[in-house]
Amino acid sequence: MSSSLLCINYCNTSNRFIASYPISYGVPLAKGVLPPDANVAIRLKNGEHRTVQSRTLETHADGSTKWLLLDFEIPLDANEKGALVLEKSEIASNGIGVKVQETADTIDVFTQQLKAQWSKENFSLFSSYVVNGREMMQSGSDIILEDLNGKKFYASLSKTLDLKIIESGSQRVVIESSGQHTGEDDSTLLDFRVRYTFRPHEPGVSISYKFTNREAPEKGVLLGAIEIIIPTAIGDKTFKLVRQTNSGKDWFSRQIEIRENVEITAGSATSEAGKNRYGTAAEGKVLIRNLESLRENLAEYPYFLRPGNARTDMTGGLKQMYPYIGINGEAGSALGWFFDMEYNYPKGVRAERNVLSFDIWPRWAGEFRSRRGQSKEHDFYLSFSDEPRAHQQMEDIYHDHEIGGAGIWFAVSPPLQLSLDADYVRETGVLQLHRWLPYDEAKYFSIEAKLGSLGTVGSHSSRGMMDFGDWVNPDRSWAHNNENDSILDMIREYYRREEATMFLPALAKARHNAHVDFIAFDPDPLREGTMPAHCPEHTDGAAYPSHMWVDGLLAAYCISGNSDFSEAALSVGENMLRWQSENPTVFYGDSRECGWPMLAFLRLHEWTHEKRWLEASHKVFEYYRAHIGPAGEIKYALPHGVGTTLMAYGEFIAWRALFFYYEQTGDEEVREFLVQMLDKIYLHRPRNIVMGWAVNDLFPAWAAYELTGDDKYIEDNYPFLQFLMEREGNFPWGGVDMHFYLAELHRRGTLSRFAHAV
């Protein structure tokens, strides 16, 4: 019997050889295929096997692995494409790679490149960082917050420090340090968390710094600066290495050595002309702060390439830079950059003699409001050597992690793209994709156009430190805030269409939702652990049950292993339980308000296997059984508190939840109720297209067919589907759940007639 489990398709989008590229990737497995914590290995296309560090993220009801997180490294030729085979293995990881050691006082990490140490008593970025026996750090590394009055709060003064190992294996080790930024008078301001990720062949370390506002002021706190300073031991006299993006009459890039302090920045658009022309693409461009450091002879340039020309300045002109800074000194070298720097502007990276600094919020950016309950995480990279390194050697390290785009419309991205075969993912049964329409652009061109998926690729939408991963309209009156669980839909499309470009934007949306949109602290228990709806500043509005989603967050957790996503999902579930028990008037205010929570309860039961989530779902079922109208429509007295109109607002969500509740429990009472009620409302009428939602997506018709096997529920809606195909525009609101009905027509071989009739 074959030991092969699945294939991972990959593509190196860079025109470079990469000796060892680290991968963390969650993959789905069908029920019964793999026991939890079984050993696996990766087989390269040349037949070579690679060690894999793996961890089960979710199990099926029988205990077998449903989602498995993989950590491994592979070599990549320039522009290489191929498939990696995941196989069962008889042996565990060979243990060669990253090692970690914990004592009563310290934690130490060892790789082939370095040895890093942290103290459990006092915070510093590193207590020690040794390369080839040479110490690369000086004392004084710190994270410093500054308020608008100039008062400073230091991570190094935190009265409590929690230092722990959160991932430990030969292929990846993650260390976490957390505490509070503290002033010299013992006052505190914002919590901090720093995570360090080590890989076997990495010449450095990836670092993630997150702040969380658990302060009392309702409108948040104002800050003037947040900076991370790292004094190095590479020597007092240094020179800096950077790359200028545009130089000379041919506008080519060039490497430059600078013998003075250097600061590169990412800020808002450099000109109104640039923003008017390019929108968000003009924002966050990485620039050198002091153009004179580049020693350009401006007299040699034609006027249209000189600073001051509006078209040239739109993208930064001669000041535009790559986001890394290298530093060489007599005793060694340092290299650093922010990941996704331009997306997360304002940002700054400074090299002042032997001190490397990362400005999370630079002083030149003005005041920053950290709203109550919000978090924000920032990723950067550090690499040290015990001797000076050539510029190309340091730039190669940067390009092993990020490659730049071409022109203003593109930004940096990792060089590797990953995807899974769509048929394989459907076979595993995850994310309901076995019930979604398979992607066939040639066969179903007009159907995909109606679904809005035709030709779409992953995009990050808004830029800016607190907007990245969301969409905020230009006048900042409205934000998307993960409406209708767009994280889940993006991950589904990533798999359904094998569209690799959707992977990273989906994770960016999940990270934003779990950090910036998420209220980690609030004195009101019905706000804590929630995501308010459509807030341009992300948490400055009302929170209510129908606008918090867990399926997408848990999907993002399963493909990444990022525990922040699963913890946010669990927190939302707990909050919804509070709404259900403490404020049932709102919770049962309409089927949207309790339908989404019921779906969340069901997904949390599926993930945790805890019965309490089913018990909460059963209460929703009992409510509907007691309150449903004789016509089967889930109608409510609207507007709320006035009751002048009866409306079936958002009812498709409740029907969906009730159907999946039956599938998880097999409760015949639920099935009988659904069959009786759905039989009354499965016919859809154009008069209800705008409101009512159940009439938009044909889900009740599909659910009724699934429960009874009666073809009438499908066939009676052919005229309505024809009407939807002929009307202008995409399928109306709620149309994402058209997939269930459309997939059934695909299975029957009847969908083509609707695709070709338009």
Inter-residue contact 422 to 495 (CB < 8 Å): yes
User: 481 lies in which domain range?
Assistant: 456-584
The pLDDT, as a whole number, for residue 447 is 94
Dig out the tokens for 30 from the structure.
């069908």
Tokens 């420090």 correspond to 161
Helix axes 668-681, 611-627, angle to 10 degrees: 40
* CB-CB neighbours of 750 under 10 Å: 14
**CA 499 distance to own-chain centroid:** 16
Who's near 372: CB < 8 A, 6+ residues apart? 213, 214, 215, 216, 217, 218, 219, 220, 519, 521, 522, 539
Give the least confident one: 157-161, 259-263, 473-477.
473-477
Dig out the tokens for 507 from the structure.
């994770």
Q: What is the pLDDT of residues 503-515, one digit of tens each?
A: 999 999 999 999 9
DSSP 298: G
79 falls within a domain: yes
Query: Distance (Å, rounded) from C-alpha 98 to C-alpha 173?
Result: 7
**167 plus 243 within the same structural domain:** no
Inter-residue contact 535 to 467 (CB < 8 Å): no
**485 plus 343 within the same structural domain:** no
Who's near 181: CB < 8 A, 6+ residues apart? 143, 144, 145, 153, 154, 155, 157, 158, 188, 189, 190, 191, 192, 211
Q: What angle do CA 651, 653, 657 make, to 5 degrees?
A: 120
Give the least confident one: 172-186, 389-403, 477-491, 600-614.
477-491
245 falls within a domain: yes
Query: Distance (Å, rounded) from C-alpha 327 to C-alpha 329?
Result: 7
The pLDDT, as a whole number, for residue 684 is 63
The pLDDT, as a whole number, for residue 554 is 98
**183 plus 275 within the same structural domain:** no
**184 plus 261 within the same structural domain:** no
Higher-confidence position of 466 and 635: 466
Averaged pLDDT for residues 83-107 = 88
Q: Is the peptide bond before 203 cis (omega within 30 degrees of 0)?
A: no
* Selection from 571, 566, 564, 535 nearest residue 551 by Cα: 566
601 falls within a domain: no
Higher-confidence position of 310 and 61: 61
> How far apart are the two ends of the chain, measured CA to CA in Å?
48
Query: For 608, what's the count of Cα atoms within 13 Å in the CB-facing half-sphere?
Result: 18
Query: Which among 88, 122, 137 is the end of a domain?
Result: 88
Percent of residues in the chain assigned helix, strand, coil, to nearest 5: 30, 30, 40
Reply yes or no on whether the pLDDT at 365 is more than 70.
yes
**24 plus 141 within the same structural domain:** no
Q: What is the pLDDT of residues 518-531, one digit of tens each?
A: 999 999 999 999 99
Give the least confident one: 341-355, 399-413, 586-600, 695-709.
399-413
Reply yes or no on whether the pLDDT at 322 is more than 60.
yes
Query: Distance (Å, rounded) from C-alpha 575 to C-alpha 572?
Result: 5
Query: Distance (Å, rounded) from C-alpha 568 to C-alpha 546?
Result: 16
DSSP output for 630-666? TTS---EEESTTT--EEE-TTHHHHHHHHHHHHHHH-
3-state secondary structure (DSSP) of residue 704: helix
752 falls within a domain: no
- Give residue 314's pLDDT band: very low, low, confident or very high (50, 70, 90): confident
**218 plus 113 within the same structural domain:** yes
DSSP output for 182-205? E-TTS-EEEEEEEEEEE-TT-SEE
Predicted model pTM: 0.96
Higher-confidence position of 647 and 226: 226
Quick one: residue 436, left, alpha or beta (phi over 0 = left, psi -120 to 50 = alpha)?
Answer: beta
The strands making up 115-119's β-sheet, listed across from edge to edge, are 99-102, 106-110, 115-119, 128-131, 134-135
Who's near 327: CB < 8 A, 6+ residues apart? 232, 234, 238, 239, 240, 241, 333, 334, 335, 351, 354, 356
User: What is the enclosing helix (H) or strand (E) of 252?
Assistant: strand 252-258
DSSP 442: T
Inter-residue contact 507 to 414 (CB < 8 Å): no
Reply yes or no on whether the pLDDT at 757 is more than 70.
no
Reply yes or no on whether the pLDDT at 742 is more than 90.
yes
Q: What is the pLDDT of residues 420-453, one digit of tens each?
A: 999 999 999 999 999 999 999 999 999 999 998 8
The amino acid at residue 378 is H
- Give residue 282's pLDDT band: very low, low, confident or very high (50, 70, 90): confident
Query: For 651, what's the count of Cα atoms within 13 Å in the CB-facing half-sphere?
Result: 26
> Chain-wide mean pLDDT for the chain?
93
Reply yes or no on whether the pLDDT at 651 is more than 90.
no
Beta strands 221-231 and 134-135, pairing class: unpaired
Query: Which among 53, 88, 123 is the end of a domain?
Result: 88
429 falls within a domain: no
The pLDDT, as a whole number, for residue 94 is 62
The rounded percent of the chain whose pLDDT value lies above 70 is 96
Beta strands 332-338 and 252-258, pairing class: unpaired
**184 plus 320 within the same structural domain:** no
Who's near 494: CB < 8 A, 6+ residues apart? 419, 458, 500, 502, 503, 506
The amino acid at residue 292 is E
3-state secondary structure (DSSP) of residue 308: coil
62 falls within a domain: yes
Query: Distance (Å, rounded) from C-alpha 352 to C-alpha 13?
Result: 34
Reply yes or no on whether the pLDDT at 689 is more than 60.
no
658 falls within a domain: no
The pLDDT, as a whole number, for residue 309 is 86
Q: What is the pLDDT of residues 229-258, one digit of tens each?
A: 999 999 999 999 999 999 999 999 999 999
Inter-residue contact 164 to 193 (CB < 8 Å): no
Query: Distance (Å, rounded) from C-alpha 225 to C-alpha 363?
Result: 5
Query: For 564, what's the count of Cα atoms within 13 Å in the CB-facing half-sphere?
Result: 24
**190 plus 261 within the same structural domain:** no
**CA 403 distance to own-chain centroid:** 19
Query: Which among 88, 110, 126 is the end of a domain?
Result: 88
Q: What is the pLDDT of residues 175-202, one digit of tens each?
A: 999 999 999 999 999 999 999 999 999 9
Inter-residue contact 9 to 421 (CB < 8 Å): yes
**208 plus 302 within the same structural domain:** no
Inter-residue contact 150 to 182 (CB < 8 Å): no
Query: In 29-127, at which residue ranges do the beta strands (DSSP E only) sit?
Result: 40-43, 49-51, 53-59, 65-76, 81-88, 99-102, 106-110, 115-119
Exposure string for 556-592, b = 16+ CB within 10 A, e = fewer: bbbbbbbebbbbbbbbbbebbbbbbeeeeebbbbbbb
The pLDDT, as a whole number, for residue 687 is 47
- Give residue 412's pLDDT band: very low, low, confident or very high (50, 70, 90): confident
Query: Distance (Å, rounded) from C-alpha 223 to C-alpha 219?
Result: 13
Give the least confident one: 21-35, 93-107, 587-601.
93-107
* 575-582 long-range contacts, CB within 8 A, separation 24+: 575/525, 575/526, 575/528, 575/529, 575/530, 575/548, 576/545, 576/548, 576/600, 576/601, 576/616, 577/612, 577/616, 578/525, 578/526, 579/526, 579/544, 579/545, 580/616, 580/619, 582/525, 582/526
Report the domain count for the chain. 4
Reply yes or no on whether the pLDDT at 576 is more than 90.
yes
- Give residue 91's pLDDT band: very low, low, confident or very high (50, 70, 90): confident
**106 plus 76 within the same structural domain:** no
**167 plus 261 within the same structural domain:** no
The rounded percent of the chain whose pLDDT value lies above 90 is 80
170 falls within a domain: yes
Residue 559 phi, psi (nearest 5):
-95, -10
Give the least confident one: 193-202, 673-682, 708-717.
673-682
CATH code, domain with 23: 2.60.40
Query: Distance (Å, rounded) from C-alpha 78 to C-alpha 97?
Result: 25
Inter-residue contact 351 to 261 (CB < 8 Å): yes
The pLDDT, as a whole number, for residue 270 is 80
Dig out the tokens for 647 from the structure.
């409306």
**471 plus 558 within the same structural domain:** yes
Tokens 């950590």 correspond to 71
The pLDDT, as a whole number, for residue 688 is 46
Reply yes or no on whether the pLDDT at 272 is more than 90.
no
Give the least confident one: 110-114, 226-230, 382-386, 403-407.
403-407
Query: Distance (Å, rounded) from C-alpha 56 to C-alpha 449?
Result: 37
The pLDDT, as a whole number, for residue 694 is 47
Q: What is the pLDDT of residues 444-473, one digit of tens each?
A: 999 999 998 887 777 877 899 999 999 998
Inter-residue contact 432 to 418 (CB < 8 Å): no
The strands making up 65-76's β-sheet, listed across from edge to edge, are 18-28, 65-76, 53-59
